[in-house]
Amino acid sequence: MAKQYDVLFRLLLIGDSGVGKTCLLCRFTDNEFHSSHISTIGILSAPCYEIMKDQLAEGIEGLAERRKSSRSNGRKAFLGEEEAVACEFLVGLVALLRLQASVVSPFSEVLLELALTAAPQAGACGVDFKMKTIEVDGIKVRIQIWDTAGQERYQTITKQYYRRAQGIFLVYDISSERSYQHIMKWVSDVDEYAPEGVQKILIGNKADEEQKRQVGREQGQQLAKEYGMDFYETSACTNLNIKEVRAPQTSGPVPGADQGVGRPEREVADRSHDQSFTRLTELVLQAHRKELEGLRTRASHELALAELEEEEGKPEGPANSSKTCWC
């Protein structure tokens, strides 16, 4: 059976509340746009049972570990980071129960209560995610895209997600100077919590709102340059620079597309149809080139092995056994 993907990694969307992170994600994965603002809190909507299960297992392990160390330090359990881990675990458990039962059981309500008590300042999980597989340079990449809540009160929780990201979108709204100014704060959070070398792209969303524009395109480009990031203006509303639309052979650059200020000019010209999500995926792939080479070697080796096994009539190995996950 054909493999569904070759590599799996995690991207994160961060930025102020209301800049359009959820809408960007929905446009990219489902080609949909929602005109209402429903703040991301992520308690019930996490769609992927398997991932929740993993998160749950990790939560239990992490919780046990942290409780042990906080006790041996003579501190009270569930402070700071411990509190966040406890909340993540409990919220995962609640979501899992709800997904399994498809009904609101009294038991899950009790757990929900417990989760909210464990992290009162968080109030909820603060993240949601969607999955999508795209092909870049012949590699099938499964991306798990985490949509974080922009509201201040969720940030203890959302920062927990930075450290396992390979790529991060920093999003502001071109009609909000304030959201642009806050990018500096988001960058410093990334520097503090994300792994070194994480790939970043700056996004100025709502580019369709020209009449309400408060942040010039050149301001976005300038900021991106300062931080050594690529820059795109996007619109979840009109699908500008989000969902890849195959340009006709004869056409030039996509109108209005920013050309990734961090890139050399020749490359820019060659890749004028790049969209923001595809571009970040490419950057992550480039950053992990070494692992990728290993993967390619292993893949061709496994192919040869599979052919041999088939010839010998041996049973197949586990499906997708050569998947690489950088989460």
Ligand X SMILES: Nc1nc2c(ncn2[C@@H]2O[C@H](COP(=O)(O)OP(=O)(O)OP(=O)(O)O)[C@@H](O)[C@H]2O)c(=O)[nH]1
Radius of gyration of the chain (CA): 21
Exactly one of 1, 2, 35, 248 binds ligand X (CB under 6 A); that residue is 35
44 binds ligand X (CB under 6 A): no
Task: Measure the CA–CA gap between 64 and 74, rounded to whole angstroms.
Answer: 16
From 139, 57, 145, 102, select the one nearest 323 (Cα to Cα). 139
Cβ proximity of 273 and 136 under 8 Å: no
Minimum CB distance to ligand X, residue 162 (Å): 15
Contact region for ligand X (CB under 6 A) — 17-25, 47-55, 216-224, 300-308? Answer: 17-25
Cβ proximity of 273 and 250 under 8 Å: no
235 binds ligand X (CB under 6 A): yes
Nearest residue (CB) to ligand X, 81 versus 209? 209
211 binds ligand X (CB under 6 A): no
- 123 burial (CB, 10 Å; 0-12 / 13-18 / 19+) is middle
Exactly one of 6, 208, 230, 274 binds ligand X (CB under 6 A); that residue is 208
Sign of the torsion angle spanned by Cα atoms 44, 46, 49, 54: negative
Secondary structure class of 213 (helix, strand, coil): coil
257 binds ligand X (CB under 6 A): no
Minimum CB distance to ligand X, residue 235 (Å): 4
Minimum CB distance to ligand X, residue 41 (Å): 8
18 binds ligand X (CB under 6 A): yes
Give residue 110's identity as a one-letter amino acid code. V
Contact region for ligand X (CB under 6 A) — 32-40, 96-104, 129-137, 213-221? Answer: 32-40
Residues that bind ligand X (CB under 6 A): 17-23, 34-40, 149-151, 205-206, 208-209, 235-237
